[in-house]
Structures are given as structure tokens and as C-alpha cells.
Chains A and B, each alone.
Chain A
Amino acid sequence: MEALFFILFGAIAVGGAVMVVTRRHPMVSALYLILTLFAVAALFVLRHAHFLAAIQVIIYAGAVVVLFIFVIMLINVPESRLPVERATIVRVAGVIAAGLLILESAVLARRFAMPKAPVSGVGTVEAVGRALFTDYLLAFEVTSVLLLAAVIGAIALSNKKL
């Protein structure tokens, strides 16, 4: 049962990702990106990592993609003037890179077998919170200082007179 859902959502995620890079219109690409993100969130749910799934949707689908859509809407390039990728070399390189990626993941999957049953207590609120405030406390605090600096920088850049 679980394997069935895994294959289903995995296929949706991969298919959506392929559509993101092949669609001509950026708005359609952004929508497929949302589909992919939701499918990945469903994969998290299958591994009992509900918190990660919710955060994935809130941050990526709710904030990042909305930002993308905002930019696409504001620039609003007419369909007839969208650039088309014509260089054959880029396409060939893309196919080779994709092949290498699939090969690499196959090798990795063979070396580190996937755990059969969901590991309990990974990706829940409690587990993520405990990990953040014990093992990764320094990295967590440094990241928050970095983000604070970025916020202050953005305000300083956008509003010179403050």
C-alpha cells in the first residue's frame, strides 16, 4: 500500500519537475512547480514526517512560488516574445546531466538501502525542534543572525532615508 503511494507521488513529483523545465510559459512552469512541491510533501507524509511536509508547503508553495508568480505577473512578457531555447548543445548537455543524475541516484540507492518502515520520530515537530536546539544550536543561531542581516540590508537598500 505504502509502496504504491510512494510510486504514485514520486512519479507525480518527477513528472511535474520535467514539466517545469520543458513548458514554454513561465506561469505554467510555476504551477507545475507547485504540483511537484505538493507531491514531495506527500512523500514526507508517507515517511511520517508531517511537520516537514507542512513546512515544505507553507514555505515553498505558499511563499517562494507566490514570489515567483508575482515576478512573472509584474514582468508579464507576451507569449509571442518568450525566448525559445534553440541551442542543440544545451539540450544534449541536459540529457547527459539527467542521465548521470539517474545513474548516481541508482548507485546511492543500492549502497544505502532505503529503510522499509518509517523511522519514528524523525521530521515530527518534537524531533525537529530538539535537533535544532541541541545538536545544531550554533548553526541555527548563526543562520538567524544571517537572515536578520539580510532583512536589515534589504530595508537599507530599499529605503535610503529610513
Chain B
Amino acid sequence: MEALARSLVNFVPVLGGVPLWTITLLVMVASAAVVLVFALTFEGVGSLVLRKVAGDIQARIGPNRVGPNGMLQFLADGVKLVLKEDIIPARADRLLFRLAPYFVFVGSFAAFVVVPFGVGLIAADLNIGIYYVMAVTSLVVVGILLAGWSSNNKWALLGGMRAAAQIVSYEIPVGMALIPAVLVAGSLSLQAIVKSQGGLFGIFGWNLFHDPFAFFSFLLYFTAAQAETNQTPFDLPEAESELVSGYNVEYSGIRFGLFFLAEFGDMFIVAALATACFLGGWNVPFVSVAALPPVWGNLLSLGVFLGKAFTMVLIMMWVRWTLPRLRVDQLMRMSWKYMVPLTFVNLLGVSLWLLLFHGKGIPQMIASLFG
């Protein structure tokens, strides 16, 4: 950030009179604002795409009234959510009820800050990137629990309980399944992990193809993350058929909207982490993006990253409308009896592989066979 501020001062000499930390602060605020705008746009358009995909899969049309082919439906939804009356139940804990959606939204949005969108397009390249994401998303659990409890509604309480139990259970396989990517790159920074997947091998440089364990851990990550963000085969906290709508049943207006946006934000975070850790991030096969002129390099890498991430989001929606919902006990059993042990075995496998083959992946070994 400070380097960016300094180059800005060099570029616009008038700014030289302003203290550097003011400019640094402004650059920080500006980059956070850009990320926020991206997140909100994605969440809006995402809700439309979700409904369109649902329509396609269930052999119906989906939203088609607002704008050409229903393209402006999300704007109408947004306006509706903002204008609707914000109802607080009479017996609810007013302060906590009002506070809860912000916990959920902040927890989900704060993770966008470390997403490596391109070569130089990252709001903050923290050296603990992956841990930062896990840390801020832990706020979501608190928000959901608060929402469930403060609504003073049995269904909301049950939904909140389920959500918290589920998120806490699946946090462990999610973290453990990401560690292989960290081990291969030797860094927790998402930007460093993406860089470690570039090079001569094109798409075979991706961590996905590094070794069999890494491939398997991508599948484990994707499944566990789907559960951690309460997506449909695992959306028990909402389970319309039994809990009405779970922890957010008493919410209306923009407070409901915040829960809704956070859910789409979580979807993108899962897709972005999968892309950055296993699918090569913004690396373009056989093109060194960092060597291109900054504008073109950034645009190209941004396009590649978003393309991969959006594909992952589409796959998540596809899964969502295809598989039936699990039962609560099945869900818990799957996490503690199957996914947690599998991720530990997998972690052991990757570590042994890196130790035995001196950090080389399968593509490098094949390449060295041919000299």
C-alpha cells in the first residue's frame, strides 16, 4: 500500500505536500471500496444467475419479467429489500437482533480483501492470507448464533444452533484440506501460492495436478467448503421444509438482505480460494503475466481468475439444485467420521510426498525423465 501511495505521489506531484500516511490511508480506503463494489455487484448478479440456473435445471423459465429476459431482476430485488419495512419482533432482543446481520456481512466481506484477483490486483497481500480468511469468517458463526437467539423464535434458534454446529465442524476439514497448497508453495500468502503454480507446465503446474493427494484434497476442500457455507446439500440451517427458513426467519428488509448478500459472498470466497489454491489462480498457461505491461497483464490475469472462479460458482449452483439435502446426523457423521480423518490422512500423504520427492510434483518428475 505504501509503495502504491509513493508511486501515486511521483505520478501526481501536487500530492507531495500531503503527508504520506494520509495518502496511504486514502489508498487503503479506496481499494477496500473497490473490493466492496465488486462484492456487492457479484452478490446481486449472483442471485439472478442462481435463479436462472435453478430455472434451467428444473425445466422452467426462471425470472423473466424485469428487463430483457429478466436481466434486471436483481436490481428490483435490491430496491425491494431496501424499501421494505424493517420489522423487529416484539419479544426479540432489539440490540442483538439489529447487530447480528452486520457480524455475518462483515465476516463474509472482510475475506474479499485478500483474494488475489490478478498479478497486482490484491487489496492486501497478507503473509497469513489463508489464516486471515479463516479468522474473519469465524465472525459469521457468531452472527448466525446471535440472529437465531435474539429472534426469540424456536425455529430461528434451532437454525442458529444447527448452523453454528455445522460451521464449527466443517471449519476443520476446510482448513486441513487447504494446507497441502500451503505446503507446496511454502507460504500462507495467497499471492505466493498462486505464483508457485505458474511456470513452464501450463495447467499442469496447478496444485491440482501436483500429486494425487493434492487432487484429492481439492475435492475434499470443495465438499467441506460447500458445507461450511451452508450450501444446499448441506443447507440444514435453513431447511425450508422443517425450519421454515432457520436463523433468518424473523428478518425482513435490508437486514434480511445482508444475510442474503453474505451467503453469495461466501460462495465467491469458496470459489476464489479453490481457484487460488488448486486451480492456478490468475496464471495464464504459457504466458508470463508479470512480464506483460502492467495494464494488460492485470487485465488478462483478472479475466482468467474471474473466469475460473465464476466456473466454480456455477458448479456450486449446479450441485445445489441437483442433490437432495442430508439429515442432521448424517451431516455431522460425514464431517467427524469421514471428512476429518480423510483430510488428516491426505495431509500426511502430501507431506510424505514432498519429503520423499524433494518437493517435486508429477509434471516436474515426468519432465525430468525426458531430461
Residues in A lying within 8 Å of B, measured CB to CB: 1, 27-28, 31, 34, 41, 50-51, 53-55, 57-58, 61-63, 65-66, 69-70, 73, 76, 124-125
Number of B interface residues, CB 8 Å? 28
B131 and A58 contact, CB distance less than 8 A:
yes
Q: Are A58 and B138 in contact (CB under 8 A)?
A: yes
Q: How far is the CA of A31 from the CA of B138 in the complex (A)?
A: 13
Indicate if the CB atoms of A54 and B161 lie closer than 8 Å: no
Chain B residues whose C-beta falls within 8 Å of the C-beta of A1 in the assembled complex: 21
In the complex the two chains form, what is the Cα distance from A41 to B134 in whole Å?
A: 14
CB pair A62–B135 under 8 Å, yes or no, is yes
Whole-angstrom CA separation of A25 from B160 in the bound complex: 19
CA–CA, A65 and B142, complex, Å: 8
Residue of B nearest to A51 (CB): B128
With A66-B141, A66-B145 known, 11 other A-B pairs at CB within 8 A are A27-B93, A27-B149, A28-B96, A31-B99, A31-B142, A54-B128, A58-B131, A58-B138, A61-B139, A62-B138, A69-B164
Residues of B within 8 A of A61 (CB): 135, 138-139, 142
18 sample A-B contacts, Cβ–Cβ < 8 Å, listed by A number: A27-B93, A27-B149, A50-B127, A50-B128, A54-B131, A55-B131, A58-B138, A61-B138, A62-B141, A63-B138, A63-B168, A66-B142, A66-B145, A69-B146, A73-B148, A76-B149, A125-B127, A125-B128
Q: Which residues of B contact A50 (CB under 8 A)?
A: 126-128, 132
Q: Select A73's contact among B21, B126, B135, B145, beta carbons within 8 Å.
A: B145
Supposing A70-B145, A70-B164 touch, asked if A57 and B127 sit within 8 A by C-beta, the answer is no
For window 145-164 of B, CB contacts with A under 8 Å fall at: 145-146, 148-149, 157, 160-161, 164
Chain A residue nearest to B139 in the complex (CB) = A61
Residue B171 CB within 8 A of the other chain: yes
Interface residues of B in 260-304 (CB under 8 A from A): none
Nearest 5 CB-CB pairings of A with B: A62-B138, A54-B131, A57-B135, A50-B128, A54-B135
Q: Which residues of B contact A65 (CB under 8 A)?
A: 142
Nearest-neighbor residue (CB-CB) of A34 within chain B: B142
Q: Using CB atoms, name the residue of chain B closest to A56.
A: B135
Q: Is B136 an interface residue (CB 8 A)?
A: yes
Chain B positions within 8 Å of A, measured between CB atoms, are: 21, 93, 95-96, 99, 126-128, 131-132, 134-136, 138-139, 141-142, 145-146, 148-149, 157, 160-161, 164, 168, 171, 188
- Chain A nearest CB from B97 CB (Å) reads 12
Contact among B99, B127, B148 with A124 in the assembled complex (CB-CB below 8 Å) = B127
Which residues in B have their C-beta under 8 angstroms from that of A53? 128, 135
Q: Hey, which chain B residues are within 8 Å of A55, CB to CB?
A: 131
Chain A residues near B164: list those with CB within 8 A. Answer: 66, 69-70
Task: List chain B residues, Cβ under 8 A from A73.
Answer: 145, 148-149, 157, 160-161
Nearest CB of chain B from residue A85's CB, rounded to whole Å:
22
Smallest CB-CB separation from A60: which chain B residue? B138
From A125, which residue of chain B is reached at the shortest CB distance? B188
Chain A residues within 8 Å of B142, by CB: 31, 34, 61, 65-66, 69
Which of A57, A76, A124, A125 contacts B138 (CB under 8 A)? A57
Taking CB as reference atom, which chain B residue is nearest A50?
Answer: B128
Smallest beta-carbon distance A120→chain B, Å = 12
How many angstroms from the CA of A31 to the CA of B99 in the assembled complex? 10
How distant is the Cα of A50 from the Cα of B132 in the complex, in angstroms? 9
Task: Name the residue on A nearest B140 (C-beta).
Answer: A62
User: In the bound complex, how far is the Cα of B272 from the Cα of A121, in angstroms?
Assistant: 30
Cα-based distance from A144 to B14 in the complex (angstroms) = 58
> How long is the Cα–Cα vector from A1 to B164 in the complex, in angstroms?
38
Distance in angstroms between the alpha carbons of A61 and B168 in the assembled complex: 12
Contact of B149 with A57 in the complex, beta carbons under 8 Å: no
A58–B145 CB distance below 8 A: no
CA A57 – CA B160 in complex, angstroms? 21
Residues of A within 8 A of B99 (CB): 31
Q: CB distance A51 to B131 under 8 Å?
A: yes
Inter-chain contacts of B188 with A (CB < 8 A): 125
**Contact residues in A for B126 (Cβ distance below 8 Å):** 50
Contacts of A124 in B (CB 8 A): 127
Contacts of A62 in B (CB 8 A): 134-135, 138, 141, 168, 171
For A27, what are the chain B residues with a Cβ–Cβ distance below 8 Å? 93, 96, 146, 149
